[in-house]
Structure 1
Amino acid sequence: MADEAWFREVFEAHRRPLHAHCYRLTGNVADADDLVQETFLRGWRSRSQYEGKASIRTWLYRIATNVYLDHRKAAARRTVSVGDPLEWSTDIGPYPDSLLGEDPSAALVAGETVELALIAALMFLPPRQRAAFVLRDVSGWTPAEIAAGLELAVPAVNSLIQRARKTLRHYAPGDARNWRRPTLTSEDEEVLRRYAEAVDPVSVRELLADDVRITMPPDPPVVGREAAAEFLGRPLDWLTFPSAANGRPALICYLRKTGTDLYEATVVDVLTISNGRIVESNAFVGAHHVTAFGLPATIERPA
């Protein structure tokens, strides 16, 4: 009984930061959820092996990282093809800001929840390189700590980190400060409000930058103000909810099909706004992205 009470406290204290870590490894909330569950299951089974030499958090991160690597063994040597993963990868998903919670650890978790640009760049790395890079350059572990956690020699860990950094120099934002979750501004919120209310190409066009880019894998991107306005201003029956993800404004969208009274969870649009204009919209299609925000898969049509 004492073990159960202790482990329940461990779970509540570390669930959010561990979930953020698992998101960085997997790139989407659904897989992060599964990884967290298996991490705590393994942690419970091996609780007698915890000796207190490392912090509980370090112990859990070590377990989670190894669970992730075990799941990816079959794809250990696979890397992605060239191009922006936000344009073609259906494995990436947004991280709802609501998952950060209001507890004292929220600020710490928020600081560790990375931007979508880095999540996309991590897709170019094989699993071990991704794990080593995330632990070293995002979470701040030393090579010795990573070596102990992954049961590797320190030179092997340094090699993984160096190779990961070399690859990411081509794909990740050059300034490491841009890896972190940005801060949602009042301007962002106002543009998002207007975007949610826009119902035709004319009202949408006013919000877009000339070179706006919409990604919605696996479909090809839509580029340019006119093309994007026509695409976004189609006469469909949407039900939308403003939100935030990865520190950016997000619009959660339900679509009602003709002949039904149900709105179905369809897509989450995560926006990048600059100088009062939308310069990029990353659309994540699928009900699982919507339900990650704590919303239902369907909503009945209002009477």
Structure 2
Amino acid sequence: MSAPTRGDDAMADESRAWFEAAHAAHHRELLAHGYRLTGNVADADDLVQETFLRAWKARDTFEGRASARTWLYRIATNLFLDTRKAASRRTTPAGDAFEWNTALGPFPDTLLDAGPHTAHAAAETVELALIAALTHLPPRQRAAFVLRDVHGWTPAEVADTLGVALPAANSLLQRARAAVRRHAPADPRDWRRPALTSADEDLLRRYAEARSPADFRALLAEDVRITMPPEPAIVGVDAAADFLGRPLDWRTFPASANGRPALLCYLREPGATHYEALAVDVLRIEGGRIAESNAFIGAHHVTAFGMPRLLVP
């Protein structure tokens, strides 16, 4: 084998520089795209890592007919479909995804808070209600809906990415839209990541400091609803206040996810020397009261916010 020439070295350096620029420019928004497809940050992160690995291996085949961004989105979307082929044959439980879907998770707003492409990625990060609705869709319908109705790709681009004829792509979109209408907010403006207000932040602080049932009752709406799959939902201010006000040793940290106030929760069991990451509570606020708390159980949800699994007092 002949030794590489100076020209070979220059081409390698140029290829590496192009790839690094593409990674810096598109990593955050690809993570948001992966989240919309998978419904949780851990799977989205795995998807993005594999996307860039495949892109690097196939970098010599990129011909520039589409933008690097479009090329990467196509790789990520098809990776998602490849990994979900078995899942597409399973039946999806009916009802509220916040009650049965243990894979659903929040998207930390801190993942979008820095970098030159923050505004674009944040604008494309959708509300939890739409993410939950998308879990009712088979994978190809979900991909078609996200590409067309979230990103605004043309039907022809969607068909090309999914490797189907245009009529088939349109059929996927029609079925996806019908399912989303049954499960998501009716107004598409409610699909977008809401803005966290100073009033929301103050209510979250008070919620984090609350300890007794009376403390919580003062913050909750009368018809408040707490979900934490696979456990049944807790509905009503009295039941919710009693549940939240149990005498347990918590440490909590305010945060935000999907534009909503969130609380990162650590629990210390009796006799334990440390606190363990347990859950992320994402709140929906209406009229100055907490109308809903979606609890996502599992340390991996907490660590997605850059927090440790264990805390020592």
**TM-score over 0.5 (shorter chain):** yes
**Pairing partner for 1:167 from 179, 188, 192:** 179
d(CA) in 1 for partners of 2:65, 2:199: 47
Gaps of 5+ in 2: 1-11
The answer to whether the aligner puts 1:191 opposite 2:191 as a matched pair is no
Match of 1:158 in 2: 170
Match of 1:229 in 2: 241
After superposition, what is the alpha-carbon deviation per residue over 1:9-64, rounded to whole angstroms, capped at 9, x for unaligned? 21111100000000000000000011001101111111111111111111000000
> Residue 148 of structure 1: CA displacement?
1.5
Q: Is the CA contact (8 Å cut-off) linking 1:79 and 1:125 kept in structure 2?
A: no
The answer to whether the aligner puts 1:8 opposite 2:20 as a matched pair is yes
d(CA) in 2 for partners of 1:83, 1:101: 33
**Pairing partner for 1:121 from 106, 127, 133:** 133
d(CA) in 2 for partners of 1:179, 1:299: 35
Identity %: 66
Runs (4+) of structure 1 moved beyond 3 Å?
A: none
The answer to whether the aligner puts 1:87 opposite 2:99 as a matched pair is yes
After superposition, what is the alpha-carbon deviation per residue over 1:181-234, rounded to whole angstroms, capped at 9, x for unaligned? 000011100100000000110011000000000000010000000000000001
> Residue 4 of structure 1: CA displacement?
2.0
- The amino acid of 2:172's aligned partner reads L
Match of 2:146 in 1: 134
The more displaced of 20-29 and 78-87 is 78-87
The answer to whether the aligner puts 1:37 opposite 2:37 as a matched pair is no
Matched residue of 1:73: which SS?
A: coil
Task: Note closer, same or farther for the CA distance 1:282–1:196 as it changes in structure 2 (3 Å cut).
Answer: same
> Residue 104 of structure 1: CA displacement?
2.5
Match of 1:255 in 2: 267
Q: Is the CA contact (8 Å cut-off) linking 2:106 and 2:258 kept in structure 1?
A: yes
Task: Pick the structure with greater CA Rg.
Answer: 2
- The amino acid of 2:71's aligned partner reads W
Match of 1:24 in 2: 36
- The amino acid of 1:257's aligned partner reads E
Q: Is the CA contact (8 Å cut-off) linking 2:228 and 2:294 kept in structure 1?
A: yes
> Residue 107 of structure 1: CA displacement?
0.9
Matched residue of 1:293: which SS?
A: coil
> Residue 170 of structure 1: CA displacement?
0.8
Q: Is the CA contact (8 Å cut-off) linking 1:79 and 1:124 kept in structure 2?
A: no
The more displaced of 79-88 and 271-280 is 79-88
The answer to whether the aligner puts 1:112 opposite 2:110 as a matched pair is no
- Give me the CA root mean square deviation: 0.8
After superposition, what is the alpha-carbon deviation per residue over 1:81-139, rounded to whole angstroms, capped at 9, x for unaligned? 21101011101000000000322211111111011100110011000000000000001
Match of 1:52 in 2: 64
Q: Is the CA contact (8 Å cut-off) linking 1:96 and 1:246 kept in structure 2?
A: yes
d(CA) in 1 for partners of 2:65, 2:88: 30
Match of 1:274 in 2: 286
Q: Structure 2 matches for 1:177-216, cutoff 5 A?
A: 177-216=189-228
d(CA) in 1 for partners of 2:24, 2:91: 35
Normalising by structure 2, we get a TM-score of: 0.95
After superposition, what is the alpha-carbon deviation per residue over 1:128-186, rounded to whole angstroms, capped at 9, x for unaligned? 00000000000110011111112211111111000101111111110000000000011
Matched residue of 2:119: which SS?
A: helix
The answer to whether the aligner puts 1:296 opposite 2:305 as a matched pair is no
| Matched positions, count | 301
Matched residue of 1:252: which SS?
A: strand
d(CA) in 2 for partners of 1:163, 1:20: 23
- The amino acid of 2:259's aligned partner reads G
d(CA) in 2 for partners of 1:140, 1:85: 25
After superposition, what is the alpha-carbon deviation per residue over 1:262-289, rounded to whole angstroms, capped at 9, x for unaligned? 1100000000011110000000000000
Q: Is the CA contact (8 Å cut-off) linking 2:93 and 2:100 kept in structure 1?
A: no
Match of 1:99 in 2: 111
- The amino acid of 1:231's aligned partner reads F
Gaps of 5+ in 1: none
d(CA) in 2 for partners of 1:39, 1:102: 22
Q: Is the CA contact (8 Å cut-off) linking 2:249 and 2:269 kept in structure 1?
A: yes
